[in-house]
Structure 1
């Protein structure tokens, strides 16, 4: 049975007032008190059941709806839950346009506040992989796409928009960004993260969090939302690239490579939340790992926000991970480890009130968790200003500046992998018959190209075939379509230039949910007849430009061999094809760089540029040496000359620094941007060391003939690593510094560390 609560949504255009200012106000409502004082004033008032309610989040799809007139409609199940209050609700109003969502969430929050004893507001939670995961918000490229920009300030501006748009529609937290390293292209969630490298991911994650939280100051002002960095820790390293599989990471790799983005998220970016990982570390399930969630996260790093489970994962300690003897034992294990909020489950923290009757000491751990949740709500200002000012929504969401930012991000994120005989850019003033072909062609691609190109040339667009049947849970590959193939080749023969859109889509790379959905792959080759399509169009003898769209790294050997030019776009914004056309026709030079290594074959996995030096000693029989394209690689329409690499001194000590300088000159005829990258190699260590590690980068723009001196600072902190005794150390010895255009093309010099 559904219950209807008719609230005047259309009149909710001003911010509601949270309780009148009277002498009867309870202490926790006093906004002049500190957050900690308000938490301690409220916590003792709560019953045990009310405390546990503040440790649970449910999804809106269990009965938070709108009727035909947009009024709030709650199921009996939801009504029952809200009597005690709730920590939060996931994705309320996600399918409504922003203004209606803001009105709806105001009504929902009002109901929640008025129907629990202490008027405790709820956290409304979203996610952000292409912008706010909700109807009517600006759609940006995915995190991996923006990582290719190598522009942290750009990422910060993107997430600033995400934070503002989410808060305007009534949201408070987002289960994003991902601080995981992704080095496994079989993994369907690869594009949700920022790449394979520790330093690059750290820069991107900290800027994403600072952006979405409004540099933390936007939280209490009600202009931004809180971040939940995830998945702590090592989630992107699942064996075989299969979601929910085991994770094998050495303790040293964990500390030196996996932890730093999370540590920076806590210490530098001040993330409000952390989400635990589905996986395990050294056989210990992360959701039941007190050393990880309390020892490292809180005792070492000083994190004072809340930790939320991944969906249902506390209960899964019992029935999936099988490290707890019962559902109740799993609940206690998660609680003791440091999980404050149970996401979705009905068979985990729901048992806590009964468990306390048998073991009253558990309530101390419950109090610990509830303090963290209430603290978050006070930081966000929800007790004082729980509602959205609807009058600001229409102008604030999808503002022109936000849409322009999406286009700007696309332009900086496209990676040119190949450009034989200067195939690109095309001359937009020369009349051409251009064919846009292939399974990754979108409905609006032609119109976007026409808007950029004008009327000088003729554009023909033909998708030809789909890759899969589009089934949501387990898509099926479609058989080769000879008629579609012949039609595409016929069009290609008649064109002056062919632009072929291939790669993968949301069906060939996606999250493999726990129930029946699949999204990981056992191969990283392009699916279906895409290689054949490229080969046949190449055989026409017409110039062939490949646009690679995808959400996982693909081994594109045939494409690399057959094409004249390749533009790697990953997954761009809603305006991606417009930005792509601007690059193809030379309005803007490509400046993206690979945030991951592109292998030649799945047989090279695991394969990332910063592996230990000894991993590169031997190659494989019958396979060309090295990656197909290295980390940090990306071509431009101009040439950049590197020269005059200098160090301020040739020795560093634990208390000194070295300034590195290099001159970069644009020796071509086009204004363009370049990502200057600095790598460091420890030549001899007491433990086996990486071949090289990215330690700095800067994106610069140079006009033709212009030069610029770029400077980096080498600090002792950059040279630290985990030694034989598993503590952080600095070792005296020789180091090589490399500065260049990719992880494989650079100038180099040496310096010493003396202690």
Structure 2
């Protein structure tokens, strides 16, 4: 009897032990390999849980009940949200009032929920934007990306990116949706400021320096936008029809380098079409090229709401779930949307078989692998020590250093700069002197120093009087939008809008809503993509308009389609026939505080709608500001004009001239026969053609970051010497565009009958307060095989009277090839600092394999033959030349 009992106990214990072993959660055992952990977790996941690891959004647990996340989620962009637009909305907003400690603690609390309360305890990846600084309260705002590229200093980029990475990780951010490694092949593109310029080599060099700092600190980087999201005319996300040869040899290069050399573990797709297919659902791009040929092991995310673009923009998918299936099947791994509720649109194909289980498991495995590699399962939280360390960080000196190195001196006639020591009164003109603009994808910065403050800080003990006047306005308007507080319907601000699914205002409205202002640009979608088609619709707004003052007003509408305006039942504007964009106004007599019945009607037949209710009330007195500044300038010894441009996402430029009355101010000030310096603020090329010869100095400071004002002042007064170089080509006229230095030979000349083909300022150009001499180009030999490295040495001497830095640039020209090659290509650079009279030998190494290109059979090759090595300080100044042979 005892023997039987003992046997039963032993068997029972063995069964329990074996069951426990079988059910042991290997994915929670840090001693197991990453791949074993991934596969163990993957087999435990439900179809819903797998979908949620492929779905990312902005937000936190404050706006969605916790139980809604019971399946987990890929990650969250905490304390961020969308700007509207429904499932098609692409733009996000950020909570700028949450300091670093609050953000870190919030991320900890959110992570705690997912680790402890979701079924499998899978941690999230907190992600954010960090183009030139984390876009959060308290984070350092460094110079904009284009400015960092202008430094031509990859070591400086490593310092800056290491600082941004540290500030990000100590807040709990483990993935950044950065950097932009697209090539700015057309400077009309509004997002040129976010890039590292036009050149594949420079962009790769800066991109690798940026991403490696983050990846080394355990933060996933996400180079974007894959691929080539600037099309014809410099228009953002325009369709791309370039050859695979061109893409392989240019736009794909920085991505390849970011993955292979920088070790980036993610990539973001772009909004545009590539050869007829959305990039987000492009099988050749995401699977054939990226995952098979390049053997990319990371995960691919879409840009915000890009997956649905196949449905509402490109019309290559019949609905959102079809778009979801197409994207994932093409090789996308994670769908990035802007709201929790959007998951309903994209989850169906994950559950009904339209996406294969193998493809789903591959996508999920890529995400899980990253989470294990980040150590999130073992260390999901930010420690109190990390938070305290965050409070001690001071990267302001580095921000100023980076700004100084980014500035490009475009002109310095007659030694206009540095400002003369005998100057006693300086006039500063322009809103960019006080605005301290940081550029796109920026946080608020810390105690930003504007240019005027910087100048005052520098001169406070120097007996120099600083005068300031706004003077110029670069956003001049003849009309303004009628404001919401003067429009009403019922007891609410604004007008009541009835939206019809036809262009004749007939039948029952598709929907109705209150619109506070009538100022809409529906260039991508309809007013509500889920309720109204993209074209052939009409709208009627009704309500009251209150007159703020008595008098005659110009009241009307601006738009690109049919519109009508009625006041107290009488027609005021009737432009019902479709035209290009036009503005129509009429003179109306208003009595103060009287309310008028107003009706606005609008129809759209072919999409890309614009409509605005406008008047001339409240227009600023631009001439008064202008005259005051000009009068002030007459009493100054040196005049500094700050001038800028408007650009950004959805804000491409048709003109590269300074907008508003800025150029008029430059022309008028130049007549005073005083030293004039123009400080350019912006992230792209600015046309100086008509006024450059009328001023002494032109200094391009890009968007110089939170310490930009102090940096500008130190350069203006000669304490620091500008050493930046142009990462983009500045054209003489827009008609030359696109204009890049590394174009291919033409069938005829580059000139126009009325204009030279030469640029205004070439790629790689930038002046200094001192002068340099390059000489004695030496190569270690003259014949090389394709696996060897060329070692070039150059003597550089500072022949001027000031210490300064010069960038030695090495270009290569293939003298004879089986297919056309660029006229020259940048292949190496080195920045060197020299004291007056000092000489140094600078060494630049170039692997011969970097000469490779695609031959007629689309095979990568380094062809045998003669190549010319050219060294100088810009793409147009290359005095040192030697030929080599590749055998």
TM-score, length-normalised on structure 1? Answer: 0.89
Q: Secondary structure at the match of 1:673?
A: strand
Q: Structure 2 vs 1, CA of residues 101 and 359 (structure 1 numbering), >3 Å: closer, same or farther?
A: closer
1:288 and 1:194 mapped to 2: Cα distance?
26
1-side partners of 2:713 and 2:690: how far apart? 24
- Superposed, 1:318-329 pairs within 5 Å as 318-329=311-322
1:392 aligns with 2:390: no
Pairing 1:555–2:687 present: yes
Equivalenced residues, count: 702
Q: 2:456–2:466: 8 Å Cα contact kept in structure 1?
A: yes
Q: How far off is 1:121 after superposition?
A: 1.2
CA distance, structure 1, for counterparts of residue 354 and residue 309 of structure 2? 24
Per the alignment, do residues 488 and 617 of structure 1 end up closer, same or farther by CA in structure 2, a change over 3 Å counting?
Answer: same
Helix, strand or coil at the partner of 2:806: strand
The corresponding residue for 1:462 is 469
Which deviates further from its counterpart, 676-685 or 318-327? 318-327
CA 1:570–1:603: 2 relative to 1, 3 Å:
same
In the TM superposition, 1:744-755 aligns within 5 A as: 744-755=876-887
Q: Secondary structure at the match of 2:35?
A: helix
CA distance in 2, matches of 1:723, 1:688: 9
CA distance in 1, matches of 2:391, 2:165: 11
**2:827 maps to which of 664, 688, 695:** 695
Report if the CA contact (8 A) 1:434-1:458 is conserved. yes
SS of 1:679 mapped into structure 2 = strand
Contact 1:55–1:349 (Cα < 8 Å) also in 2: no
Q: Which moved more, 1:146-155 or 1:78-87?
A: 78-87
How many Å separate the matches in 1 of 2:756 and 2:824?
21
Aligned to 1:298: 291
What residue number does 1:653 align with?
Answer: 785
Deviations 1:73-98 (A, max 9, x none): 623x4535412100011243743110
Q: Which residue of 2 aligns with 1:451?
A: 457
Matched residue, 1:57: 56
Number of the residue aligned with 2:438: none
| 1:497 and 1:544 in contact (8 A); partners too | yes
- The answer on 1:28 being equivalent to 2:27 is yes
8 A contact 1:138–1:397 mirrored in 2: no
Report matched runs for 1:436-585 at 5 Å: 436-442=428-434, 444-455=450-461, 456-468=463-475, 481-504=622-645, 508-512=646-650, 519-585=651-717
Give the corresponding residue for 1:38: 37
Please give the alpha-carbon distance, in whole angstroms, between the structure 2 residues aligned to 1:754 and 1:671.
39
Q: Is residue 368 of structure 1 aligned with residue 365 of structure 2? A: no
Secondary structure at 2:250 match in 1: helix
Is 305-314 or 193-202 further displaced after alignment?
305-314
Q: Which structure is larger by alpha-carbon Rg, 1 or 2?
A: 2
- 1:463 to partner: Cα distance: 2.0
**Could you tell which deviates more after superposition, 471-480 or 133-142?**
471-480
Q: Normalized per residue, which structure has more strand?
A: 2
Report what 2:249 is aligned to: 256
Q: Contact 1:423–1:564 at 8 Å: present in 2 too?
A: yes
Query: What is the match of residue 355 of structure 1?
Result: 349
Q: CA deviation at 1:625?
A: 4.4
1:634 and 2:634 correspond: no
Q: CA deviation at 1:194?
A: 0.4
Residue among 57, 62, 75 paired with 1:74: 62
**Counterparts of 1:579 and 1:597 in 2: how far apart (Å)?**
24
Distance 1:195 1:78, change over 3 A: farther
CA apart distance, 1:156: 1.2
Select 2:272's aligned residue among 270, 279, 288: 279
Give the 3-state SS of the residue equivalent to 1:314 in structure 2.
coil
Partners in 1 of 2:355 and 2:287 — Cα distance?
18
2:76 partner SS: strand
> 1-side partners of 2:342 and 2:790: how far apart?
53
* Mapped contact 2:281–2:330 kept (Cα < 8 A): yes
* Residue of structure 2 in register with 1:222 after alignment: none
Q: What residue is the counterpart of 2:744 in the other structure? A: 612
1:177-210, CA deviations, whole angstroms, 9 ceiling, x for partnerless residues? 0111112222111111100000000000001001
Residues 86-142 of structure 1, C-alpha deviations (whole Å, 9 max, x = no match): 001124374311011111111122123233101111111111123001111011011
CA RMSD of aligned residues (A): 2.4
Which residue, 725, 731, 734 being the options, matches 1:593? 725
User: 1:53, CA displacement in angstroms?
Assistant: 0.7
What is the DSSP-based 3-state SS (H/G/I as helix, E as strand, rest coil) of the residue aligned with 1:117?
coil
Deviation, 1:714, is 3.5
Decide which of 145, 160, 164 is 2:162's aligned counterpart. Answer: 160
Kept after mapping to 2: 8 A contact 1:82/1:115: no
Q: TM-score, normalised by structure 2?
A: 0.76
Answer 1 or 2: which has greater helix percent: 1
Looking at structure 2, the residues matched to 82 and 467 of structure 1 have their Cα atoms a distance apart, in angstroms, of: 47
Q: In the alignment, is the contact (CA less than 8 A) between 1:342 and 1:349 conserved in 2?
A: no
**Cα deviation, residue 431, structure 1:** 4.7
- For residues 264 and 384 of structure 2, what CA distance do their matches in structure 1 show? 27
Match of 1:227 among 221, 228, 231: 221
CA contact (8 A) 2:683 2:703 kept: yes
Say if 1:413 and 1:741 are closer, same or farther in 2 by CA, change over 3 A: same
Unaligned runs of 5+ in 2: 1-20, 81-94, 436-449, 482-518, 522-611
Q: 1:495 to 1:615 in 2, by over 3 A?
A: farther
Match of 1:727 in 2: 859
Change (3 A) 1:448 1:339: same
Structure 2 counterpart of 1:382, from 369, 376, 383: 376
1:264 to partner: Cα distance: 0.8
CA-CA distance at 1:502 after TM superposition: 0.1
- Contact preservation (8 Å) 1:99, 1:390: no
